[in-house]
Amino acid sequence: METENVSTAQWKLRELATRALRVIERHKGRDVTLDAFEGTLVPAARSYIEVYDAAPTHESAQGAELREGDDSIADLDRRIRACLGVLTLAVPDFDGSHLMGRTHTPDRLVADGHRVIECVFQSIAITNSRASRSAVPGERDQGFQGIAISHSRGS
């Protein structure tokens, strides 16, 4: 036996469940055929209404989480792109051209962010190493030294 795919809209089924409950209640005790459906139809209709009414709440929470994630990714993308010009000038051998003009998936964007951070901290380490070798005793380096120290402490 072949089954047929039924494609009735969920909102329509919600209306029909409500209508079925009203009809059963209105004809209760007056029609034996409707009384026969009361044991199965009423609990099924009430369950469907309850599930249908709960579904939009779940859907909007999921939608809100997706929007929040999209907003966070867009914010991270803006922040990385805002730093690229400064990093290109301040960090020797930094090439941010591979980060410009491409669409980012969340995983790729986070990986790019990690690469930018690694490049910056490598440059800080190199700058601090050069500064400590060339500094006059008693003279304090004004470069990236404070940043590197705070990063190494986990701040």
pLDDT tens for 31-44 read: 888 888 889 999 99
- State the chain's maximal CA–CA distance in angstroms: 105
Mean pLDDT estimate for the chain: 78
pLDDT tens for 49-95 read: 999 888 866 667 778 888 898 899 889 888 888 888 888 887 777 77
The DSSP output letter for 91 is S
Residue appearing with tokens 């010009």 = 85
pLDDT band per the 50, 70, 90 thresholds, residue 100:
low
Is there a contact between 87 and 119 (Cβ–Cβ < 8 Å)?
Answer: yes
CB atoms inside a 10 Å sphere around CB 82:
10
pLDDT band per the 50, 70, 90 thresholds, residue 150:
very low
Rounded-to-integer distance, Cα 60 and Cα 45, Å: 24
Is there a contact between 123 and 94 (Cβ–Cβ < 8 Å)?
Answer: yes
Q: How many CA atoms lie within 13 A of 6 on its CB side?
A: 6
What pTM was computed for the model? 0.45
